Structure 1
């Protein structure tokens, strides 16, 4: 993700005035090796990534033709929805235990600076707004990550799309969201982790916390 197109070096301008620190130009985040990354900013790149994942999952084109078709359609829908939500990249877990998949996702989205309101809300005020939005069902706090302060929100959600796919109402997704202010800008980076298995939610959330803690500005 490109956060800023210009870099500023040095501590002061030639006339002696202070130079504002430069915003980061990108970020880095470490995910498990069995998580598959799909870039979302380019239609061609995300389509190629979807095809690669289909080929990895069902390499036999003839024997698994129907499954390949269904998976490609499902992934295409998920990826298109993520891109429409201003997604930068999407990570899908391909991890499994004894052949059973352990689904989890990470969607990274960018919320650009509002030109009309260039002063960003302090994380504490954003946390208050999220509490008001989701109520007692969300655990919201301001946390200190190596990349800087962030607002952390754990909650449950069952989207209409998940219902259409047959997910029971009594088994909603567990979401873990991190709102990270982009240094020296009014923009935010949002990490949205999700897992649909309540029995593994606590263990998955521990892993999600570790992934969020790995993010570094570049």
Structure 2
């Protein structure tokens, strides 16, 4: 499935398998999409009604939190290989970085690595990697979070360890950073998941980059 980033058509990427886009800016459309996701996950059986309700509540909270954090694209995976479910989410954000990017990608990479050191203080120390893909500098960090609560009633889903992988990509010819954050409750599959997430990030393209005037300064032009 090829997906275009919501709103601005700034970037495209390929999501293998079955993913559902959850609209963040439209409450009614978001509610409908989350209800569809609950049906895909738990079916229509009456005995799973409480699980569907809990699932909808969890997704709604996560979607609202993503929107409040400035995300403009949010996706839920149901399965990557037919018949093999995989609970995973992808959050896409475009933002102005605190670092001053330039046309020199070697310099941009050093700046991103410096930025990563601040995230490492918050536990983002797993699976470090960086590269240059299609004119964009990419940096990756991951974090595994232990469950923080227990099931309190039938409308609360059991918590599990969460494995989150974040990728920071410079947008060619712009001063913005695109962030792709993948989350899953299957940290034991991290090796295979990293291959999957890396493949999605490697498919990222910036269609406007060939025609967009370069607004970034040369080194030293501040």
TM over 0.5: yes
- Normalised by the length of structure 1, the TM-score is 0.72
CA shift digits 1:93-133 (9 cap, x unpaired): 2128897743222111121367xx8x427232121221343
8 A contact 1:131–1:138 mirrored in 2: no
CA shift digits 1:66-86 (9 cap, x unpaired): 333222112111211221221
1:110 partnered with 2:91: no
8 A contact 2:74–2:89 mirrored in 1: yes
Length, aligned pairs only: 188
> Take 1:95 and 1:67, find their aligned partners in 2: how far apart are those partners?
19
> Take 1:42 and 1:27, find their aligned partners in 2: how far apart are those partners?
21
Return the match for 1:48 from 19, 32, 50.
32
> Take 1:214 and 1:59, find their aligned partners in 2: how far apart are those partners?
32
Please identify the structure whose Cα radius of gyration is greater.
1
Q: Which residue of 1 aligns with 2:137?
A: 149
Distance change in 2, residues 1:147/1:72 (3 Å): farther
Distance change in 2, residues 1:147/1:41 (3 Å): farther
- Identify unmatched segments of 5+ residues in structure 1: 4-24
> Take 2:31 and 2:135, find their aligned partners in 1: how far apart are those partners?
31
1:46 CA displacement = 1.8
Say which SS state the counterpart of residue 32 (structure 2) adopts: helix
- Normalised by the length of structure 2, the TM-score is 0.71
Say which SS state the counterpart of residue 86 (structure 1) adopts: coil
Return the match for 2:128 from 122, 132, 140.
140
1:191 partnered with 2:180: yes
8 A contact 2:17–2:80 mirrored in 1: no
Q: Which residue of 1 aligns with 2:145?
A: 158
Say which SS state the counterpart of residue 40 (structure 2) adopts: helix
8 A contact 2:74–2:91 mirrored in 1: yes
After superposition, the CA RMSD in angstroms is 3.0
1:142 CA displacement = 2.7
8 A contact 1:61–1:68 mirrored in 2: no
Say which SS state the counterpart of residue 183 (structure 1) adopts: coil
> Take 1:149 and 1:75, find their aligned partners in 2: how far apart are those partners?
31
Q: Structure 2 matches for 1:1-218, cutoff 5 A?
A: 1-3=6-8, 25-60=9-44, 62=46, 64-95=48-79, 101-112=85-96, 119-120=100-101, 122-134=108-120, 137-146=125-134, 148-153=136-141, 155-158=142-145, 162-164=147-149, 167=159, 172-218=161-207
